[in-house]
Amino acid sequence: MKTIKEIAQEANVSEGTVDRVLHNRGGVSKKTEEKVRAIIKEYNFSVNPVASALALKNKFNIAVLIPAHNKSDLFWKSPNLGITKAAEDIKTFGTQVQTLTYNQQKPESYINTFHELLKSNPSAFIIAPSFSEETRNIVAILDDKKIPYLFLNIEIEGFNNLSFVGQDSFTAGYIAAKLMLSKTTESSEFLIIQSRKNITNNNAVFKRIEGFTNYFVKNEIPCKILTLEIESQDSKTLRKTKINTYLNNHPDIKGVFVPSSRIHMLVDCMADTYLKTLELIGFDNTPQNIECLKNNSVSFLISQKPFNQGYNAVKLMNDYLVKNNIPSHKIYLPIDILIKENVIYNENSY
């Protein structure tokens, strides 16, 4: 590996001059610049980021704003672990990472946490965006301050985000439908259950549902698709009644699709006879959902590599800050199909 010193010797200039050319810092004559550039190109030289980091001394800090996890929805624990791991890895570049979580039910917690992070003057933001109105305000501030930001997990359009890291939700839903049909041969009815008012994840959940129904349309499968909405504030007893009554009234339902990470809550509510006969498909390898795979109540989970989402987002942003690597505008991670047998190799992220 060449060094700046060697490049400088080769070009008969000082190291400082090479550095000026490398970082377009100006104050170099055209002739010298060309000479240096030629040699840089000849050796395909690039700076040693470790030395650079040391000389620059702790220049960057990345702020991360994501939802908190709780007992009934552990989903965000895993991206958070990925973020922590990445933070560890990029210490060697002198980059600091600060993560704060907000309450997914409370817009003001989202805003307040954002401002809390802003206090330390971050070089960049990683945001799992909730609440469209509030996101618009947040992003306006970042655009104004020229702080780069990328969106994690929840894909929204129309912003100047550097990138998006997450899943292709439409295709994920489409795959769920295909898997559903692989287990239920005749034409039948299917039920989509939304377990809460989707003020937050709505875009991902919406796209999953779209993909799910599209499978039937595209393949001209004459199935009826029903939808049931459950309020997350509903007591468990109330939820039980709602769900089982609904299933009782629709005996042709062969499978249930839950386009969120909360299929375990549904399993908790469903009468045993339904658990045994219906195909259930849900999202995300949270511990409770994995338990449902293991006890055979759920056939498939679609998983979205939550750990990697966090890890990749942080690494990507660091590469952007440190090496000025521009990432793709969308980074879609694999859509994992989990069954009882392969899930054990996918649970270490929690």
Q: Return the one option of DNA, a copy of itself, none that residue 232 interacts with (CB less than 5 to 8 A, by type).
A: none
Q: Which of a copy of itself, DNA, none has residue 319 at its interface (CB below 5 to 8 Å by kind)?
A: none
Give the interface size with DNA as a residue count (CB under 7 A): 32
Q: Could you give the CA distance from residue 191 to residue 172 in angstroms, rounded to a whole number?
A: 17
What's the min distance (Å) between Cβ of 83 and a copy of itself? 18
Which of a copy of itself, DNA, none does 275 bind, CB closer than 5 to 8 A by kind? Answer: none
Q: What is the radius of gyration, based on Cα positions, of the chain? A: 25
Query: Which of 93, 131 has the CB closer to a copy of itself?
Result: 93
Question: How many whole angstroms separate alpha carbon 339 and alpha carbon 248?
Answer: 28
Q: Which position among 38, 43, 56, 121 is part of the footprint of DNA (CB under 7 A)?
A: 56
The single-letter code of the amino acid at 278 is L
14/27 Cα distance (integer angstroms): 13
Q: How far apart are CA 310 and CA 187, in angstroms?
A: 40
How many angstroms separate the Cα of 21 from the Cα of each of 26, 30, 349?
7, 10, 43
The verdict on 339 binding DNA (CB under 7 A) reads no
Q: Cβ 113 to a copy of itself, closest distance in Å?
A: 25
Residues 23-82 that bind a copy of itself (CB under 8 A): 48-51, 53-54, 58
Alpha helices in the chain (DSSP H): 4-11, 15-22, 30-42, 49-56, 77-90, 107-118, 132-145, 169-183, 202-218, 236-249, 263-269, 272-277, 287-294, 306-323
Distance in angstroms (rounded) separating the CA atoms of residues 62 and 166: 19
Q: Is 15 in the site for a copy of itself (CB under 8 A)?
A: no
If binding is defined by CB under 8 A, does position 219 make contact with a copy of itself?
no
Distance (Å, rounded) from C-alpha 79 to C-alpha 213?
Answer: 28
**Out of a copy of itself, DNA, none, which partner does residue 265 contact, by CB within 5 to 8 A per kind?**
none
Contact between 267 and 298 under an 8 Å Cβ cutoff? The reply is: yes
φ and ψ of 172, to 5 deg: -60, -40
Query: Is-contact 194 260, C-beta < 8 A?
Result: yes
The residue (of 110 and 170) whose beta carbon lies closer to a copy of itself is: 170
Q: Which of 117, 150, 317, 333 binds a copy of itself (CB under 8 A)?
A: 333
CA triple 255-335-223, angle to 5 deg: 25
Q: Smallest distance, Å, CB 213 to a copy of itself?
A: 15
Gap between the Cα atoms of 211 and 172, Å rounded: 7
Q: What residue 15 binds from a copy of itself, DNA, none (CB within 5 to 8 A, per partner kind)?
A: DNA
178 binds a copy of itself (CB under 8 A): yes
Determine the interface stretch with DNA among 29-37, 150-158, 176-184, 274-282 (rule: CB under 7 A).
Answer: 29-37
Of 26, 158, 222, 251, the one binding DNA (CB under 7 A) is 26
Q: What's the count of helices (H) and strands (E) in the chain, helices before strands?
A: 14, 12
By the rule CB under 7 A, 77 interacts with DNA: no
Q: Which does 39 bind (CB under 5 to 8 A by kind): a copy of itself, DNA, none?
A: none
Tell which one of 12, 14, 70, 92 touches a copy of itself (CB under 8 A).
92
337 touches which of a copy of itself, DNA, none (CB within 5 to 8 A by kind)?
Answer: a copy of itself
Give the number of residues written for the chain.
Answer: 350
The answer to whether 92 contacts DNA (rule: CB under 7 A) is no
DSSP state of 58: S
Distance between CA atoms of 105 and 205, rounded to whole angstroms? Answer: 16
Q: Which is nearer to DNA, 40 or 293 (CB)?
A: 40
Residues near a copy of itself (CB under 8 A) are 1, 48-51, 53-54, 58, 91-94, 168, 171, 174-175, 178, 182-183, 185, 332-337, 339, 341-342, 345-346
Binding site for DNA (CB under 7 A): 1, 3-5, 12-17, 19-20, 22-23, 26-33, 47-48, 51-52, 54-59
